[in-house]
Amino acid sequence: MSALNIQENYPMRKHLSFRCGGNARFFAEIESIDELIFARNFSLDKNIPLFILGQGTNILISDLGYNGLIIKLGKSFNSFELSDNGTQMIAKAKAGVILGSLSRKVSKEGYAGLQMLAGIPGTIGGAVYMNAGAYGQEIADTLIEVKTLTEKGELKTYSNKECSFAYRSSIFQKNKEIILEASFKLPKSERNILESEIENAMKSRREKQPLDKPNAGSAFKRPKEGFPGAFIEQAGLKGFKIGDAQVSEKHANFIVNLGNATAKEIAELFKYVEQKVYERFQIKLEREVIFLGDF
């Protein structure tokens, strides 16, 4: 369709950790800011939404597909620069960098601040967008600034404060700007301690999370009243199934695909869990997984 190679009716399930769902009306892999601007203008011309896909680890696309343009950041967005003065490190990472890769690299160099996030499977862009966190550590804790592309095609820089970070939330969920790069200030620490913390975090994930089945990470955000997994389990829903979609028997705040679940079955299970937890505890669970398309 263009030099950008925008593909139509593109199958998305191989890009999503749930391993199900329909096609994107349009799809393209981006290698430059110019291509990103072209893609944004394309979506505006077509009057369709634009969605930036990272690793696809917290996304569910309808079986009916997504009537928009999904773009995936290519290899040119998968690099980072490290500079240290012996007491602290500045890490500048482009949006397509895998969070776990950056975390392990800086920890190996003896700098703290990202080590507890090593097991999160998403990209830097997605992690900033969601203010990803684990085991008491969040992206916002060490972030200095974020560079974005605005809707007008202009480059913009946000300070940490300007990002309006909150629990699993940031300004980027509202302003429709595209995250290009993030910078972090990381304090010096002991390499062996950091590597031990990473190993303990990974061990905890292996023991407590259903990593052997397709899923999209934590299904629901933590409400102020407590932990969603506990409420779901107390509502008697652990192991509950709709088709091949199941509330994990290992951790109730995970919904897994047992093999042939449809996006519709997974979405119905999300809604059923929300309904039953509200009926039992009058607590409204909020999805952490992003739904795209019509369900």
d(CA 138, CA 130): 10
> Strand 23-30 relative to strand 66-73: parallel, antiparallel, unpaired?
parallel
Catalytic residue from among 168, 177, 181, 287: 168
Catalytic status, residue 288:
yes
Tokens of 52: 């930036």
Catalytic residue from among 218, 248, 265, 287: 218
Catalytic status, residue 168:
yes
Q: What are phi and psi of 250, to 5 degrees?
A: -90, -40
d(CA 60, CA 271): 13
Catalytic status, residue 164:
no
Collapsing DSSP to helix, strand or coil, 103 comes out as: helix
Catalytic residue from among 35, 138, 177, 288: 288
Centroid of chain to Cα 73: 14
Q: How far is CA 140 from CA 49, 156, 161, 169, 179, in A?
A: 27, 18, 9, 10, 14
Q: Which of the residues are catalytic?
A: 168, 218, 288
